Amino acid sequence: MLLNQVLLNQDNNNNNNPSPPPDDQVLRLFNQLATSFSKMLSLRRIRFDFFGGFLSLDSFQQLCRSKSLEELQLHGFDLQDAILTLLQCLEHNQSNLSSLWLSSGQLTREVLESTARMLANNQSLTSFRFFFDEYDYVNDDDCLVAIAQALHHNSKLETLHIGCKVDKALLLSHNLASPQAFVEMLHDHNVTLQEISVFGVDEAQATFYGDLNRMGGRKQLVRADATKEQWFQVILQAQDDLSSLYF
């Protein structure tokens, strides 16, 4: 039986008695494991829970470049250098990951900028989930605008979730540019995203355009060589959905 998924978890639930820092022997063990995982042709999925401090950047980079790894989840992963290493691998298409799930604490501007570059160039990800506790949404909103713009020509990504623990009323009070940038991206450019939720972005509009893309008709309609028959098939497909039919 081939090993195709791994879950590594550090128990941080007991806040009164936190886990002690790893000693050198444990660190060597986990880095050897990561190196071994990167060479396993059968390994498809890895999930790390609160394990950032156990891996060196070199071992982590080898893991990111695994030819077989398709899904990676990093939860409670606050090592910014490791996240940047992963995003850079994806930006330069040095990873075959199709699904990435990141959850972090405080987010830096550098990570947001790297995320935008990654989404503009990556050709493997079909699903990207990114959740964080806090970031400077007033001064770094232009980074989210850049992420929306990066998706104008991304024809691979189908699922996008970006979440943050921020008060919605407070967010709306600042009249940020990023929510409208995501709506414009969906309305005017991207015909691939089928499931999208981004904090601050109107859920109804995001769902509507995602459903349109899931139908597949928009891909046909934006083509310069679209035929009358193709238009007719798109209209037939949308006949039970008045909103889509009107669009």
User: What secondary structure does DSSP assign to 222-238, as a single string?
Assistant: TSTT--HHHHHHHHHHT
Which pLDDT does position 180 carry in this prediction? Answer: 94
Which pLDDT does position 112 carry in this prediction? Answer: 92
d(CA 92, CA 160): 20
Does domain 5-215 fall into CATH 3.40.47.10? no
- Do residues 59 and 35 touch, judged by C-beta distance below 8 A? yes
Question: Angle formed by the axes of helices 178-188 and 203-215, to 10°?
Answer: 20
Residues 6 or more apart in contact with residue 58 via CB below 8 angstroms: 31
d(CA 36, CA 31): 9
Average pLDDT of the chain, as a whole number: 77
Cα torsion 37, 38, 41, 42 to 10°: value is: 40
- What is the mean pLDDT for each group of 10 consecutive residues in the chain (247 residues)? 49 49 49 54 73 64 82 79 88 92 84 95 95 81 95 95 80 83 93 92 90 74 66 67 60
* CA angle, 100 then 111 then 138, to 5°: 115
Which pLDDT does position 167 carry in this prediction? Answer: 72
SS3 128: strand
For residue 16, the tally of other CB atoms under 10 A from its CB is 4
DSSP assignment letter at 98: S
Domain ranges of the chain: 5-215, 220-247
Which pLDDT does position 100 carry in this prediction? Answer: 94
- Do residues 81 and 55 touch, judged by C-beta distance below 8 A? no
DSSP 145-202: HHHHHHTTS--S--EEEEEE---HHHHHTTT-SHHHHHHHHHHHT-----EEEETTS-
DSSP assignment letter at 21: P
Which pLDDT does position 108 carry in this prediction? Answer: 85
